[in-house]
Amino acid sequence: MALMSSGRSFYITTPIFYVNDVPHIGHAYNEVACDVLARWHRQGGDDTWLLTGTDEHGQKILRTATAHDTSPKEWVDRLVESAWKPLLKTLNIANDDFIRTTDERHEEGVRIFLQRLYDAGYIYAGEFEALYCVGCEEFKPESEIVDGTGEFEGQKVCAIHSKPLELLSEKNYFFSMSQFAEPLLEYYAAHPDFIQPDSARNEVVSFVQSGLKDLSISRSSFDWGIKVPWDESHVVYVWFDALLNYVTAVGYDADPDEFARRWPAALHMVGKDILRFHAVIWPAMLMAAGLPIPEKVFGHGWLLVGGEKMSKSKATGIAPSQITDVFGTDAFRYYFMRAITLGSDGSFSWEDIHARYHAELANGLGNLGSRVIAMVQKYFDGQVPVDALDSVTEPEQALADLEQRVTREADAAIERIAPHEAIAVIWELVDALNGYVTEQEPWALAKAGDTGRLARVLSTLTHGVATLAVLLAPVMPGSMQTLWAAIGGKGPVQDQDVRTAFAVASAGPVHTIPPLFPRVDDDAVPATPVPQA
């Protein structure tokens, strides 16, 4: 079935990543989650737009560049090209745009936005002294300031980074965010789905209920940033600058038609550590500017390795390519979407991905595909004879019903932003098809010369495998295209409407392919790193 645009706009964003370092699997996790959701919506005919990019200003990046004896611009240009854009290739991300906060389109949009807030009276100059975490790029709220231990005994440290906070005292410009506490609470109450999951929403609501302070939105002690239009001795606070990427990338303020088409975004997917910026500061900024607020902000959990939050600077740091080199891109995408509940923390271990790779991908799905193809080759020379089919019996009807239910429930799970549930329900079909092969024993039908029944069984199986290829294409685009073509599907699998996957057209001639998920030897799999004491 050819795709027709439903007209429904689905604009989804990843956070823009700090380019002070190279990507790790925590960043990759977010990219993959967004790409799977975007591919699903695109394959369902929605007017989909996936945005990702890089956050390039601020003190953290300036310091890293200086430590590497280079200018910040040279540093970010180098990292974007050598590390961040290649990450998208490694993961097979089909993003529609890539925004850098050093793009002129972005800088211009930020200046316009800021000037409008200033003209409307939401920005004022003031003196300020507070504890700043360069890791977070944030003046910390009381709740995230803790007493240091060990080498930082006697100092105040950041609850997230466990590093000492810096006391900054500057003249800054402020955004009068405090006046938005009430409007935000009203907004949350009227839009209970705005912040997800529920646990995250409750946290944000109680944070705002305890009152909001005005937000310092400029810095004057360094100059790596966008200059404040009316006072060039200040640069825009990096978070204020960064959040605006979501609108500057879709035409604010240069392309009103594109902006009207995409905005408000359907979903900002962010890690839970940066949810507050997206669920409090960002909607307050939009309210002040009179712009619509995104439909949803979803805070996913952290990837843990050896029980601690994965971060590149620690011993447990893992680069995405370490995993894709062993298991391939699609297995990477599958594993993180299947094994971890989006919205909760989840542990990565090499042992776990290895076990799931063999049980679910190689033996479950891959084996099903190759057996069905091999039998159609062997018994019918590659093409099930459609004019010689026996009629449908109860097991075939049950599979047809299952295909419908799985398609419907997987789509509903994606709507709930629960890709792990979508994959779990699709796997009911994988298991049912494998069970059907065992029960129907096509080899026995062949031996008994029961051609009509054999044709019915193999046609049921090819249809089931084609349905699987369509449903799993958003998760494993490369291997599902291979499977789709091998089972006789025409054209790109991503042109098949995922929401009617159960009604996929009957497949044409099959052809043999090498194993989709070849065995991985034990000695190719590293041991999971353990945190250093």
The structure tokens listed for 239 are 């978070």
**Is 463 marked active-site?**
no
Whole-number Å distance between alpha carbons of 527 and 533:
18
Whole-number Å distance between alpha carbons of 313 and 295:
34
**Is 34 marked active-site?**
no
- Interaction pattern, residues 245-284, with ligand MSP; x per rule: CB under 6 A: x------------------------xx-xx----------
Strand, coil or helix: what is 316? Answer: coil
- Closest to ligand MSP by CB, 15 vs 366, is 15
For residue 27, state whether it binds ligand MSP (rule: CB under 6 A).
yes
CA angle 398, 401, 402 (to 5 degrees): 85
- Closest to ligand MSP by CB, 238 vs 501, is 238
Q: How far is the CB of 58 from ligand MSP (least distance, A)?
A: 8
- Closest to ligand MSP by CB, 113 vs 379, is 113
**Stretch (H or E) spanning 131:** strand 123-133
275, 200 in Cβ contact below 8 A? yes
Strand, coil or helix: what is 503? Answer: helix
> For residue 130, how far is the Cα from the chain centroid?
34
User: Which residue in 9, 12, 26, 399 binds ligand MSP (CB under 6 A)?
Assistant: 26
User: Which residue in 50, 99, 110, 303 binds ligand MSP (CB under 6 A)?
Assistant: 303
**Is 312 marked active-site?**
yes
Q: How far is the CB of 120 from ligand MSP (least distance, A)?
A: 23
Strand, coil or helix: what is 329? Answer: helix
Q: Which stretch binds ligand MSP (CB under 6 A): 184-192, 209-217, 240-248, 482-490?
A: 240-248
Q: How far is the CB of 19 from ligand MSP (least distance, A)?
A: 8
Q: How far is the CB of 4 from ligand MSP (least distance, A)?
A: 33
**Is 309 marked active-site?**
yes
Catalytic residue among 156, 171, 312, 358: 312
DSSP alpha helices (H): ranges in 263-306?
A: 275-276, 282-289
**Is 156 marked active-site?**
no
Q: How many residues bind ligand MSP (CB under 6 A)?
A: 21
Whole-number Å distance between alpha carbons of 30 and 101:
19
The structure tokens listed for 43 are 């394959």
User: Which residue in 10, 12, 15, 158 binds ligand MSP (CB under 6 A)?
Assistant: 15
- Closest to ligand MSP by CB, 25 vs 288, is 25
* C-alpha closest to that of 319 among 495, 524, 496, 90: 90
DSSP alpha helices (H): ranges in 272-418?
A: 275-276, 282-289, 320-327, 329-339, 350-356, 367-380, 394-415
For residue 306, state whether it binds ligand MSP (rule: CB under 6 A).
no
**Is 158 marked active-site?**
yes
> For residue 285, how far is the Cα from the chain centroid?
24
User: Which backbone phi and psi does 42 adopt, to 5 degrees?
Assistant: -65, -45
Which residue is listed with tokens 């900002």? 268
For residue 107, state whether it binds ligand MSP (rule: CB under 6 A).
no
Q: How far is the CB of 25 from ligand MSP (least distance, A)?
A: 7
- Closest to ligand MSP by CB, 61 vs 471, is 61
For residue 197, state whether it binds ligand MSP (rule: CB under 6 A).
no
Q: How far is the CB of 3 from ligand MSP (least distance, A)?
A: 31
For the CA atoms of 445, 447, 449, 452, the dihedral, rounded to the nearest 10 degrees, stands at: 20
What length does the chain have?
Answer: 533
- Interaction pattern, residues 29-68, with ligand MSP; x per rule: CB under 6 A: xx------------------------x-------------
Q: How far is the CB of 104 from ligand MSP (least distance, A)?
A: 18
Q: How far is the CB of 24 from ligand MSP (least distance, A)?
A: 7
For residue 242, state whether it binds ligand MSP (rule: CB under 6 A).
yes
- Closest to ligand MSP by CB, 269 vs 331, is 269
For the CA atoms of 118, 222, 19, 283, the dihedral, rounded to the nearest 10 degrees, stands at: -20
Catalytic residue among 136, 140, 272, 420: 136
**Stretch (H or E) spanning 183:** helix 181-190
149, 164 in Cβ contact below 8 A? no
Could you write out the DSSP letters of every residue in 425-481? Answer: HHHHHHHHHHHHHHHH-HHHHHHTT-HHHHHHHHHHHHHHHHHHHHHHTTTSHHHHH
Catalytic residue among 227, 309, 314, 358: 309
User: Which residue in 99, 310, 437, 472 binds ligand MSP (CB under 6 A)?
Assistant: 310
Q: How far is the CB of 148 from ligand MSP (least distance, A)?
A: 22
Q: Which stretch binds ligand MSP (CB under 6 A): 302-310, 377-385, 395-403, 507-515?
A: 302-310
- For 44-95, list the strands marked E by DSSP: 47-55
**Is 27 marked active-site?**
yes
What residues are annotated to the active site? Answer: 24, 27, 133, 136, 158, 161, 309, 312
Q: Which residues bind ligand MSP (CB under 6 A)?
A: 15-18, 26-27, 29-30, 55, 242-243, 245, 270-271, 273-274, 302-303, 309-311
